[in-house]
Chain A
């Protein structure tokens, strides 16, 4: 057995995630935290980052990097009330960089918060009954669930399960309250963590619940997934999926994106016990020496699915049934007004890269705040970086439409399907892992791809394109028909062949391309697609059928 990774020691010695965080936050000589505390901070829901645009300039100025904090909310199922939206809006303006970022984990991120404003941010969130506990770090992250979960009573039940699951898998430590909310200081040893122990999980742990036919959460990309089985309008249980995960490391063949395995069926009341069993099995058997090999997917890949299922059944004290039939139609969002089962309405707005800011001709932050002031329902952040104004009475639709239109919040929706469905991670300048641009570069690239589509008479076809600045996969690029994964400034690996249902991984087609060769490669393939595609055949499916992306893996049936 190799040595545990250094992060294991930090967690173990942290006294329930306290470390010296309070002192680090108070240190006036730096905008950073002590190294170990920066690691612990993640489990409190924040990453220490710096503005990479000025990193080198400041080094020459003998100034430390411009340290800033990303703060990620815990928002199970992506649901927040209108009042909470306004509180979040106020924090974005007052403490963050004046923008909100909707993430692929159905939550909000603030960027650009200074160390001195961290406590004020947490306190303001707490006043709105929101916390950030365990949204980053080696722990179960924000639990996501299909956002269309307002279309039948079963959907509402699923949303409730997401909340219960999130609460059930929270750490027990009160460190968060102590450090950020001036809670009472704990004397003596840290609180017991029956679920996590002193070292929590070997690595991040992501959980999703999908409600077919929508796979907007990309359930197979998760360590732990539940596919709701709705029979005759009633939630009868869940299919369990385990061992999905998209992160990889360039040039390290021991790392790879992996789709989750379908493990069996369970009744609704077994959900918490099964989730706990999956989590603790990974806690006890996951690789704690190599963080690049520490996700659940490697534990299952190394030990086999039968072993894993047996372990989970033993821990949960039940037998999983055979998986029940289900069918996913799409992993995208539906835009425009949708009628709910109860006569209320839901409108999903397209927010490119999830970035809500007041831009010159698109005052979106103000627009959504204006809607929050009159909206009596809730907001739902989708796993595709969009937002749904949910639960609107028929009579209230006109006023909301008026605000949408006056703030040009429908501007992005009017682009073609390519623009409507594309995803990008944050990348530069804030993400320390980014090797290339993503969010800032995507609009420009999409414009060029659109030009190609027009040239081949393909304008307006559905096509999924997802881009990340590094191989860790935050925008789930490995599931897209066209996946672009940052390798170096201006250079990307081109992956091709995902489906539009989140059930098939794409494959690496060309490495390290800059924009010219990238567009050339797409141009050739789109030309062939235009000439040879079958009726309704999608680009990803076409590439597999015509064997243009090799024979490494047969397309899913």
Chain B
């Protein structure tokens, strides 16, 4: 089962965990054949978000020393290689971890919201025991890009919009998800006009959450730096520019600027301690970030095993992230295999899962030899597609039924040899 959560993840997660565990127990009890261990359900966990208090309370100052664009000038997406210089201690990370970056909303977005609501930016507002001006709340303390459900509910009441109320019905959740994906708070307030008082607005909005990015480096290689691979969210909605506050800020920050960040450990997504284990890393798009760190770590450790990277994007010449580094690793034989799928370089679209099927025999043989398998990137389509391809590969080349192939992957996961970091 899947529940979409945003900044309200804790509330959602509580219910989800309870229901999932109950459901899983019931299913396992009924599905396990007598005498065999129960089959593990394969779940797609959302990346756990840092406990809000811990993350927000303990960030440290880091210096942004670079935000180099790493897609070509004619690429559809602007992806940045962000380099953070870390303070000497307080900032230990491992490849696989995420780094949370504390941000402010862009002034233009705040202004737009103020304009729409006709509220006075200097008005003091007290919430949760703290008092700041409305502008301060909207700039650094409240979420104004992502829409949350409580906001929708309050807005439905305030605006009296029957349409909005109807959209909140459970059977229309897919539609609502689409709405949340494309609109930012200001777009919503424009579409459903309502009177707002400053305090009510602040109260309706969620606290501004730090954005998490998979770290793309290993300290063994990067020293006192952490590298992030950031896709800049920047699009047009009804002719107007919309940006993701975090990526936009990272992309536009001048090198030398200090900002606050923290480590979000991800112990489930780690290079195996056993340096003889082969790695298969599947990471299209910015999903490749942790694998840059993995490879750096393993090269630095002098690990003597094979590494196989599967990367995907739209065009080889435009968005092959870290292409030069992978080529260098291939040349130095630190990367044994590099499979790429560029969806728009030929008439028919090709994705990473297609490459997995194409090279299924070798893939299966690597797994049989004890390889660890990692998937990172898009949770909505890529991860399920890749999972299905893996089932096919194991079924075809391991001569198993689809059910057994699924179980094989379940066992890999249980043995911590199949890990996913999808979002």
Contact = CB atoms under 8 A, between A and B. Distances in A.
A63 B73 contact: no
A41 to B, nearest CB: 19
B235 interface: no
B68 A61 contact: yes
Interface string B140-180: 00000000000000000000000000000000000000000
Interface residues of B, number: 23
Interface in B59-108: 68-73, 81
Contacts of B317: 31, 63, 66, 114
Contacts of A31: 316-317
Size class of A's contact patch?
10 to 19
B340 A29 contact: yes
B72 A63 contact: yes
Looking at A30, A59, A61, A63, which has the most chain B CB atoms within 10 Å of its CB? A61
B320 interface: yes
Contacts of B338: 29
A61 B70 contact: yes
A460 B321 CA distance: 55
B345 A64 contact: no
Interface in A389-407: none
Given A29-B326, A31-B316, A66-B317, A61 B72 contact: yes
B324 A29 contact: no
Interface string A50-66: 00001001111111101
B327 interface: yes
B330 A58 contact: no
B238 interface: no
A126 to B, nearest CB: 22
B323 interface: yes
B345 A62 contact: no
Nearest to A28: B340
Interface in A1-41: 28-31
B327 A58 contact: no
Contacts of A517: none
B322 A62 contact: yes
Contacts of B345: 116
B324 A63 contact: yes
Nearest to A116: B345
Contacts of A57: 73
Contacts of A30: 323, 327
B77 to A, nearest CB: 13
A62 B81 contact: yes
Given A29-B338, A63-B317, A63-B320, A58 B72 contact: yes
A56 to B, nearest CB: 12
Nearest to B326: A29
A282 to B, nearest CB: 37
Nearest to B346: A116
A63 B319 CA distance: 8
Contacts of B73: 54, 57
Nearest to B81: A62
A62 B69 CA distance: 9
Contacts of A28: 316, 340, 342
A62 B325 contact: yes
A60 B340 CA distance: 21
7 nearest interchain CB pairs?
A62-B324, A61-B70, A62-B70, A63-B323, A29-B338, A62-B322, A28-B340
18 contacts: A29-B316, A29-B323, A29-B340, A59-B324, A60-B68, A61-B69, A61-B70, A61-B71, A62-B68, A62-B321, A62-B322, A62-B323, A62-B324, A62-B325, A64-B320, A64-B323, A64-B324, A64-B327
